[in-house]
Amino acid sequence: QKEVEQNSGPLSVPEGAIASLNCTYSDRGSQSFFWYRQYSGKSPELIMSIYSNGDKEDGRFTAQLNKASQYVSLLIRDSQPSDSATYLCAVRVTGANNLFFGTGTRLTVIP
């Protein structure tokens, strides 16, 4: 069983719509959760971090964490073509020094 699971997509949304990206994790004691954006051929870029249950908003991005259900999601409001990328969910698992990454969800925003 993988530590972090994401739907690989591709997920296509029209410009201006809300994109919803989901991630589940297996370690109930996980402490920290991150969303990275990765453009093709580029390195992962941190866009959101969340540590406690609930919602965290930053501009057009909202991260949602539900530890009881072991999922974390990312909402992108007013999606733009420039948001087209692969979104990686990363989890800091209890007792580990590294992040565990999902394989990413590829998002395409259609103009």
Partner 1 sequence: GAGVSQSPSNKVTEKGKDVELRCDPISGHTALYWYRQSLGQGLEFLIYFQGNSAPDKSGLPSDRFSAERTGGSVSTLTIQRTQQEDSAVYLCASSWEGGAGQPQHFGDGTRLSIL
Among candidate residues 90, 84, 92, the one with its CA nearest the CA of residue 102: 90
Minimum CB distance to partner 1 smaller for 17 or for 56 = 56
Among candidate residues 70, 67, 47, 69, the one with its CA nearest the CA of residue 59: 47
Q: Which residues bind partner 1 (CB under 8 A)?
A: 4, 31-32, 34, 36, 42-46, 49, 51, 88, 90, 92, 97-104
Whether the CB-CB separation of 35 and 64 falls below 8 Å is answered with: no
Least separation in angstroms between residue 108's CB and partner 1 is 17
Minimum CB distance to partner 1 smaller for 42 or for 77 = 42
